[in-house]
Chains A and B, each alone.
Chain A
Amino acid sequence: MMLFLQQLVNALMLGSVYVTVAVAFTLTIGILNFLNFTIPTLFMLAGMVGWALSYWGLPFGLSGPLHWALALAIGIAAAIAVSLIVERFTFRYLKTKYGDSTEHAIPLVSSLGFLLIVENLVRIAYGTEARRFPGPDANMTLDVGGILVRIPQLVSLLITVLIVFALVQMMKRSRIGRGLRAIAENPDAANILGIDTKRIVPVVFMLTGLLCGLAGALFAVNYGEVAPMMGEDIGSKAIAGMVIGGLGSIWGAVLGGLCVGLLEMMTVHFFGADTVQIVVWGALLVVLILYPKGILGHHSIGKGKL
């Protein structure tokens, strides 16, 4: 029983990384109807840039190795900057010419292009192997009635909860949030009613960069290791979480991300680590075929042509 509870706590901690990335996915798909494949790369970029700055310091010999917290902050800034570049080249060019059935995928395909660009540039610059990240001691633990909780993970979980809550409040109450929801509902009508789509859409990408960068930074601190391919695994599980929770719903992504964390932990517990890929992706496939709406999603998303 104790072991089971410990696994449950571990699942919650693991799930919180997925939650942040899944929220980033669901935000772009819910508002812009755009499956943004650069998200795993942004996650990786924050971690890798953070590592490089804390290992080598700024380029051109401008400084020595930086403190890990500062390095990660710059890493997050880099993720936001790249996300805005992605906006410039994927979303702004979305002009449907013929309206045929694969044309709505244009931003998706350019985001795949960006995925290749950023990931391979990072590989060229920093090498392909995993690197040890010099963060705080990730093994500081808190003993709660026999269950061990790692303090950095607990802090990450709190930050995740805070961010999601702030995001939901922003979407609900602020002017920008109302504008974004209007765009999600109907971009043309929003435009006519005086919402400046060109200025408000970059906000989505800034948020995406922020969420992914933060997740990457928290991951680097918690696991003490970064690698150029770390985004693929997290990104794919976040996608699974988003679909299970329902496309376009922030709370759905939270629920789905936690579900995937739980599913992963249970699979490892009962069947071993090798079968995680089958179970998580199999669950995704089943949900997509049988219940594409997900737990909290709306049916309209992902079908219409933007």
Chain B
Amino acid sequence: MSGYLAGIIAILSINVIFAYGIFLAVASGQLNLGGAGFQAVGAYAAGWLSANLGLPVALTLLAGAVVAGLVGVALAFPILRTRGVYLVLATFAFAEVVAGLILNTDALGGAMGMSVPGYVEWQVPMIGAVVVALLVFYLMTTRFGLTMRAIHDDEDVSDLMGVSIRNVKVAAFGVGAALAGLSGAFYAHNFGYIEAQGFNAMVSIYVLLYVLLGGTQTAWGPLVGAAFFTLLPEILREVLPAAKEVVVTLFGGVPDGSRPDESWRFVILGVLAVAFMAIRPEGLITRTMVERLSFRRRTAPGMKEATE
């Protein structure tokens, strides 16, 4: 296998795990715009343990997830008192505080970044992604998954029906934070170098958009969303140079013929975000779509005739 393909599979797997982490929060009705913060906690926990204590990679990966999960639960209790816009802002602020703390902590390398020993091959994140995906798919079929869905759809009615809103929300947020931390730990060990700038506000925005565009009704959504946007630049490699010249001319710049940068991928992500929110706010993959594709018609007999 070529190094190029191995790199793509590794980053794809990391993004899929990360997306599932945010998905768990969003699927229970909490927009988590602090993904990069939890990823950074996991990455630095794994990196520090591995560099300073020399723990084996298997343990540091686990530790990355556990530490991020604990931070998530600790944050969830006060933060879940807030809702809507306040929750979005609070998670966003959390990620900024984490990045600021890392930049100012010399033990974590500060602005210089930190090199992480214990390189893992692409197979490890891939196995991790498969396990996480299966886990989340299973989770969505359990009673816990059902209560998450209920809270997402209508919190007040779920409360009336006896769902323990707070416990479910904290659990979903915490497990999601742990998954985001796990993705950070994989990132640290696969790339071998981490820096605070790699976990900036934009990363939180990207991952939330992957999840929302993929769809939050089923566990297929984050998988499709993360996969699509990770593989997009590979697909676009041929189309981009021509498009760049057009934009440069329109904006009044001087075409320099250099290779277009990564920015295009994010322009497309932005356009798709706007288009989806306008036309299909529930995301690409919906529950009815999955049911239809898997020939599992849940509609009662006679329902079709009634609607016609």
A-to-B contact residues, CB < 8 Å: 29, 33, 35, 52-53, 56-60, 89-90, 93, 97-110, 112-117, 119-126, 128, 232, 236, 239-240, 243, 247, 274-278, 281-282, 284-285, 288-289, 292, 301-303
Contact = CB atoms under 8 A, between A and B. Distances in A.
Contacts of B239: none
Nearest to A236: B96
Interface of B: 26, 29, 31, 78-79, 81-86, 88-90, 92-94, 96-97, 99-101, 103-104, 111, 151-155, 201, 205, 208-209, 212, 216, 244, 247-254, 260-261, 263-264, 266-267, 269-274, 277-278, 281-282
A277 B100 contact: yes
Contacts of B86: 288, 292, 302-303
B100 A105 contact: no
A303 B86 CA distance: 8
A53, A99, A121, A124 pick with most chain B CB within 10 angstroms: A124
B93 A113 contact: no
Given A106-B281, A121-B267, A281-B93, A113 B103 contact: no
Contact of A275 (B104, B254, B264, B274): B104
A239 B92 CA distance: 11
Contacts of A277: 96-97, 99-100, 103
Contact of B100 (A35, A52, A278, A301): A278
B89 A243 contact: yes
B267 A120 contact: yes
Given A52-B252, A106-B277, A114-B270, A101 B153 contact: yes
Contact of B270 (A60, A116, A124): A116
Contact of B97 (A102, A115, A239, A281): A281
B247 A121 contact: yes
B153 to A, nearest CB: 5
Nearest to A112: B205
A108 B281 CA distance: 12
Nearest to A276: B100
B97 A113 contact: no
Contacts of A100: 29, 152-154
